[in-house]
Amino acid sequence: MKKQSKRTVLSIDASAQSRLLIETLNENQGPLHARALTRKVVKQLTNDMDPAAWVKEQFQRLTYILIDRNYLEDSGNRLTPTIRAAKVLDQSQKVMVYENQLRWNATERKLYQELRKIRMRLAKQDDYRPYIIFPDQAMDELVRHHPTNLKELQKIYGWGPHRVNRYGMAILKCIEEVHASMKKSRYEQLLVRSKRDSYQQVKSLFLAGESPEDIAAKRGVKVGTVNHMLSELYEAGVIDMYPWIEQNIPSALFERGASYFRKHDNALVKEAFKKLGIDYEVLKLCRLYIIHTEKREEELAWP
């Protein structure tokens, strides 16, 4: 059997970088938002540091991870370390992240590009400097939260009533168009992948009633690999995993796992495992179920 290539997502210990961000906040005399904190930390780093030293994008992404994990409290234009941050400072708790979490994904990069274009266009239209239309930090928040309506936009830092009334609809249209474009692109990529022999074999075994564990054993791959392929087959509209997930995961475990991922956006399976103690593969399926439920709801609500 031909050996399949494996793509490994590395887990990184970001504790030292997290301490640097938290210490900088503690030492600073005035308020700092995420972009300002990142800029200050990067400026502190010397030019003769290790070539593998982190760059601005990685520190900015880590800052948002610390906010999401409740190490930092975000009040818009001011970040404040929480009680949990003390455990990072005294090194009693590590901050582990996946390598791909420290990079903007394709949709986020595309959104940055389009938001800069529309900001420049609106600035020329109104004869303002671009930062008057909306500052970089406000753009970061748009990319991070991708609002879908004016109510959600008003909750984002930097988007007061005047800015929302004047530019809100143009910004929402830009975000909608980027998501629609990237969604179409991903769907097309998934369709191509779903036609590969390896995907077709997994599909046939699944439709024949085989479990992911049995498929993995027959194919000589890990269960996680099979679950990933099944997930992509589902996204491509080739199979429907919902009935299988609902029937094969014990209801009590499913409800606990699904409830956790509903309440914690972008939560890692590792974090859920530490909190709930449920089997990794079960948690992965719970997360898959919730992600795809949300996608279905978005599709139904899409204008």
What is the torsion angle, in degrees rounded to the nearest 10, for the CA atoms of residue 227, residue 231, residue 234 and residue 238? -60
Query: Between residues 302 and 206, which one has the greater pLDDT?
Result: 206
Coil, strand or helix at 112: helix
CATH number at residue 134: 1.10.150.80
On whether residue 2 sits in a domain, the answer given is no
Is residue 270 a contact partner of residue 276, using CB atoms and an 8 Å limit?
no
pLDDT digits (tens, 9 = 90+) for 25-35: 999 878 888 88
Q: Are residues 124 and 91 in the same domain?
A: no
34 and 53 share one domain? yes
Residue after which a domain boundary falls, among 164, 188, 212: 188
Domains of the chain: total: 3
Q: Which of 128, 160, 188 is the last residue of a domain?
A: 188
Q: Is 195 in the same domain as 296?
A: yes
**What SS3 state is found at 283?**
helix
- Identify whether residues 218 and 240 lie together within a single domain: yes
Long-range contacts of 176-181 (CB under 8 A, 24+ apart): 176/148, 176/303, 177/114, 178/107, 178/110, 178/111, 178/114, 179/107, 179/146, 181/110
Residue 3 lies in a domain: no
Q: Round to whole Å and give the CA distance between 179 and 171.
A: 13
pLDDT of residue 292: 66
- Residue 136 falls inside a structural domain: yes
Quickly count: other Cβ atoms within 10 Å of residue 48's Cβ: 7
Model confidence at 49: pLDDT above 60: no
Same-domain status, 90 and 128 = no
Tell which of 147, 173, 188 closes a domain: 188
Which domain CATH number covers 262? 1.10.10
Between CA 217 and CA 140 the distance in angstroms is 45
Residue 89's domain comprises: 11-102
- What counts of helices (H) and strands (E) characterise the chain? 16, 4
Query: pTM of the full predicted structure?
Result: 0.67
Do residue 198 and residue 295 come from a single domain?
yes
Whether 293 and 200 share a structural domain: yes
Instruction: Please tell me the least confidently modeled range out of 16-20, 125-129, 202-206, 227-231.
Output: 227-231
| Together in a domain, 34 and 111 | no
> Which of 66-70, 144-148, 168-172, 237-241 is predicted least confidently?
237-241
Cα(61)–Cα(192) distance, integer angstroms: 31
Mean pLDDT across the chain: 84
4 in a structural domain: no
